[in-house]
Amino acid sequence: MYPRKTHWTSEITPELHGKEVVLGGWVWELRDLGKVKFIVLRDREGFVQLTLKAGKTPEQVLKLFSELNREDVIVVRGVVEASKIAKRGVEVFPTDLWVLNKAKPLPLDIWSDTPDLATRLRWRSVDLKRPRNLAVFTLSSEVLKEIRQVLYGERFVEVFTPKIIVTSTEGGAELFPVLYFERVAYLSQSPQLYKEQLTASLERVFEIGPAYRAEKHNTDYHLNEFISVDAEAAFMSYQDVMDVLEKITRRVFTAVSKHEAKLKEVGITPIASEISEVPRVDYDEAVDRLSGMGYAVRWGDDLNVEMQRALMKHYGPAYFIVNYPASLRPFYTKRREGDKSESYDLIINGIEVASGATRIHRRDELEEEMRKRGLDPKLFESHLAVFDYGMPPHAGFGLGFNRLITAVLNLDNVRHAVLYPRDRYRVEP
């Protein structure tokens, strides 16, 4: 039986000089200079150089070296030595070595070349060994933690709502059908209606989970299965939930900036370091500015990625656009004067990462907005009925988690931010 890892590679520093450690991971590189041999060991957190020397290293370890291949799984016990020559100023002299699994030559290069995305996604589990991917997904986990900490701090309760549903949330038709025993059901495109209903009991709720859109267009920023961070709060307006989302944005930027050096090492240039505020730009002002810059945009139009990028010059890497024309927003959005609505989008690095609004909390208003959009209130009766029994004013947002990562890490395709993407043509691995 092999011993337990005592350290991650990132924890091996010159201060440990003379200490015995146990490391586990994969053979990243092998170099045989005759009397001196090197193994570069990779684990999730980084690399360490193992140095083998004739006369110093036990015979059976030297023998194992000759049989090693790249990506073999090894555990090593050894002594740390500070070193002027080794990378990061430290190396480990093995006293014992266990080869726990052998690896065949990989089907794609993870060391020097970056194969095309299709090849990488085909062999995704192997591709994920690439240090760049390890950095993206360990950081993603940290970002999730930051998001939840803000929401817990604001007394939101984490919930799970069903992903198998019988009616469309927003009346659209782009749903994936599921055969649920004897009937046809659908995959949920959003927890919107559930989270609104939950404000009548749990008041402040959030959910982080999958959402499904059967959209046929295949772009760099769309996925058919994505992770949505949904929050909704009773007795709050869209300004209040923007405060929450602004806190999240600032925390995420800070978390990313802490890892800037490490990210740059693996070829990622995150968009910005810390930010002190996320400006709230009225839709009218945004349209005026864009017109001034020569964009063909008229009041009532949605803004596209190019326009949203152009506005960064004025408002920085993260800004809100607020008070969209009501016609651009879903039926449950509260109106304000002048055909506008109490709504907003959060734009980071030109990408729309979140949308939110104050919602309508009165049944009659809600039915009226449905009719305006050609939706039949009868089809939403089970949802509308809840509004008869004490629905509080409420507001919330939906944040596309994969897009957020794409935006803050400045990735050129949302698929880089998803372990196993699902799109128009891809349903495996």
CA–CA dist 90, 45 (Å, integer): 16
421 Cβ neighbours under 8 A, 6+ residues apart: 121, 223, 225, 414, 415
Pairing mode, strands 280-282 and 318-322: parallel
300: left (phi over 0), alpha (psi -120 to 50) or beta: left
Q: Which of 68, 202, 272, 312 binds a copy of itself (CB under 8 A)?
A: 202
3-state secondary structure of 57: coil
232-261 residues in contact with a copy of itself (CB under 8 A) are 234-235, 240
Is residue 402 annotated as involved in ligand binding? Answer: yes
343-372 residues in contact with a copy of itself (CB under 8 A) are 361-362
Find the shortest distance in angstroms from Cβ 43 to a copy of itself: 7
Longest dimension (CA), the chain: 86
**Does residue 217 bind a copy of itself (CB under 8 A)?**
no
Pairing mode, strands 164-165 and 183-187: antiparallel
Give the count of alpha carbons within 13 A of 85, CB side only. 5
Select 205 or 287, whichever has its Cβ closest to a copy of itself. 205
Select 206 or 319, whichever has its Cβ closest to a copy of itself. 206
Find the shortest distance in angstroms from Cβ 128 to a copy of itself: 4
111-140 residues in contact with a copy of itself (CB under 8 A) are 125-126, 128-129, 133-134, 137-138, 140
Find the shortest distance in angstroms from Cβ 387 to a copy of itself: 8
Q: Which of 54, 164, 266, 293 binds a copy of itself (CB under 8 A)?
A: 164
CA–CA dist 96, 100 (Å, integer): 13
**Does residue 47 bind a copy of itself (CB under 8 A)?**
no
Is residue 213 annotated as involved in ligand binding? Answer: yes
Q: Which of 203, 284, 285, 301 binds a copy of itself (CB under 8 A)?
A: 203
Q: Which of 2, 38, 221, 295 binds a copy of itself (CB under 8 A)?
A: 2
**Does residue 145 bind a copy of itself (CB under 8 A)?**
yes
- The DSSP code sequence of 310-341 is HTHHHH-SEEEEE--BGGGS-TTBPEETTTEE
- Residues annotated within the binding site for ATP are 213-215, 352, 400-403
